[in-house]
Amino acid sequence: MVIALLFLFFNSLNWLTNHGQETKVPALTGKKMNDAISLLEDEGFRIEIDSTYQAQKKPLEILFQEPEAGATVKIGRTIFLTVNKKSVPTTNMPNLVNLSFRNALLTMQSYRLQMGDTNYRPDVAAGAVLEQWYKGKKIPIGTAIPFGAKIDLVIGEGLSDMQDVPNLIGKTFYEAKTIIESLGLTSNIIWDGAITDSANAVVYMQTPEEYNELDFKNTILSGDMIDLRIMQSPSQELLDKNRSGSHKLLGDDSTDVLVADSAKLPTRHNIPDSLKTKNKIPGMHIPQVNKQTPLNSTPKGVDKSNKGKVSTVIGNPKSKSAIPAKVDTKIKKSDDNIKNEYE
């Protein structure tokens, strides 16, 4: 009896295992799920289905198959299929701000998100994510978005260029914002009082200012911040008071005072050439001799008996009452290193 059962068992193995009955696996990737199922069932395969999501694929499209197409398997083999989900799953938007570009990219991949456009803006945080956008708008952290959504990033590129600080006092908020963005700067807005029309509210104070207290232009790095204080309708007196420049130290009437004081100063007259002091040359302190008088002759006003001496006339030479004074000024050799040309 036992021998008969063993004989039946071993003879039925071929039938139970489909021994010798082989076929090839058809190509199923890219087909619709229903079409793939029908094809496998007709050929006697068993099927197991799993799902995932790829944004670029159609819903219920076959993404993967195992075994691969063309593999030789026994009839009745189980074929594993992975299909694309019909409805798009969602995920919560992660916080990418202040992450490096590389870390932001890895974070998006783990959340099944895709990289969109990248824009660069001057900022002290070079290489860091400054803003995250989705479909043209800033997207807050935790917002539900579909798998495969493309996220646009604003990346800091560092500060390098210096430029003049613009004058924004008296500008509307819309005008000031346009100027700041065109220069690659950022702003910190402080609203004062009741605001009924923010676009037409007026800037009445800014930091840094256009000019410093010495009337020199202030400069600012590209990507740096300007603080603005805005009111709906500030008075002209307030706008004039907050003007930049030296008037904050000297006062508004400083210009008039300077003009009035300058009017009291005495008139300046030109000095005649005859009164201008001539520069003296070392060793040339001896009185000049009349070119028309020979050196051997005795000049007028000098006593002939005092040869080798020079007489200096005190008083007006043209006056008859001038009294000549005898001065013993014999020409001697100089003791210094500078040679006298009369030696």
Q: Is 248 found in the same domain as 166?
A: yes
Q: Does residue 220 belong to any structural domain of this protein?
A: yes
Q: Tell me the CATH number at 182.
A: 3.30.10.20
Judged by average pLDDT, the poorest of 2-6, 51-55, 73-77, 138-142 is: 2-6
Per-residue model confidence (pLDDT) at position 50: 92
Per-residue model confidence (pLDDT) at position 188: 93
Q: Residue holding tokens 């007489």?
A: 311
Provide the pLDDT confidence category of residue 161 given band limits of 50, 70 and 90.
confident
Is 28's pLDDT higher than 60?
Answer: yes
Q: Does residue 193 belong to any structural domain of this protein?
A: yes
Provide the pLDDT confidence category of residue 162 given band limits of 50, 70 and 90.
confident
Q: Is 185 found in the same domain as 240?
A: yes
Q: Does residue 147 belong to any structural domain of this protein?
A: yes
How far is Cα 175 from Cα 189, in angstroms, rounded to an integer? 14
Q: Is 117 found in the same domain as 78?
A: no
Per-residue model confidence (pLDDT) at position 80: 94
Per-residue model confidence (pLDDT) at position 13: 56
* Residue with the larger pLDDT of the pair 124 and 236: 236
Is 342's pLDDT higher than 60?
Answer: no
Is 44's pLDDT higher than 60?
Answer: yes
The mean pLDDT value of the chain amounts to 77
* 3-state SS assignment for residue 209: coil
**What mean pLDDT comes out for the span 110-132?**
89
Backbone angles phi, psi at 254, to 5 degrees: -65, -35
Is 332's pLDDT higher than 80?
Answer: no
Q: Is 172 found in the same domain as 135?
A: no
Q: Which one, of 47, 51, 78, lies nearest residue 63 by Cα?
A: 51
User: What is the tens place of the pLDDT at every residue in 71-88?
Assistant: 888 888 899 999 998 888
Last residue of a domain, one of 252, 280, 297: 252
Q: Is 149 found in the same domain as 96?
A: yes
Domain region containing 65: 17-84
Q: Does residue 267 belong to any structural domain of this protein?
A: no
Provide the pLDDT confidence category of residue 140 given band limits of 50, 70 and 90.
very high
Provide the pLDDT confidence category of residue 315 given band limits of 50, 70 and 90.
very low
Q: Which one, of 204, 208, 219, 224, lies nearest residue 159 by Cα?
A: 224
Q: Does residue 232 belong to any structural domain of this protein?
A: yes
User: What is the tens place of the pLDDT at every residue in 187-207?
Assistant: 999 999 999 999 899 999 999
Percent pLDDT > 90 in the chain is: 37
Most confident stretch, 12-21, 184-193, 321-330? 184-193
Percent pLDDT > 70 in the chain is: 65
* Residue with the larger pLDDT of the pair 157 and 247: 157
User: What is the tens place of the pLDDT at every residue in 9-18?
Assistant: 656 555 555 5
Q: Is 227 found in the same domain as 172?
A: yes
Please tell me the total count of domains within the chain.
Answer: 3
Q: Does residue 177 belong to any structural domain of this protein?
A: yes
Is 116's pLDDT higher than 80?
Answer: yes
Q: Is 242 found in the same domain as 169?
A: yes
Per-residue model confidence (pLDDT) at position 152: 96
Per-residue model confidence (pLDDT) at position 54: 83
Q: Which one, of 146, 161, 156, 30, lies nearest residue 91 by Cα?
A: 146
Per-residue model confidence (pLDDT) at position 53: 85
Last residue of a domain, one of 38, 58, 84: 84
User: What is the tens place of the pLDDT at every residue in 57-72?
Assistant: 889 999 999 988 888 8
Is 299's pLDDT higher than 90?
Answer: no
Per-residue model confidence (pLDDT) at position 7: 60
Q: Does residue 281 belong to any structural domain of this protein?
A: no
Is 179's pLDDT higher than 70?
Answer: yes
* Residue with the larger pLDDT of the pair 7 and 49: 49
Q: Is 247 found in the same domain as 175?
A: yes
Per-residue model confidence (pLDDT) at position 273: 58
Instruction: Specify whether the CB–CB gap between 65 and 29 falls below 8 A.
Output: yes
Q: Is 141 found in the same domain as 194?
A: no
Instruction: Specify whether the CB–CB gap between 172 and 166 falls below 8 A.
Output: no
- Three-class HEC string of 241-296: HCCCCCHHHHCCCHHHHHHHHHHHCCCCCCCCHHHCCCCCCCCCCCCCCCCCCCCC
Most confident stretch, 132-141, 290-299, 316-325? 132-141
Last residue of a domain, one of 105, 125, 156: 156
Q: Is 100 found in the same domain as 24?
A: no
| DSSP label of 199 | G
Q: Is 195 found in the same domain as 172?
A: yes
Q: Does residue 203 belong to any structural domain of this protein?
A: yes
Q: Is 243 found in the same domain as 187?
A: yes
Instruction: Specify whether the CB–CB gap between 58 and 108 falls below 8 A.
Output: no
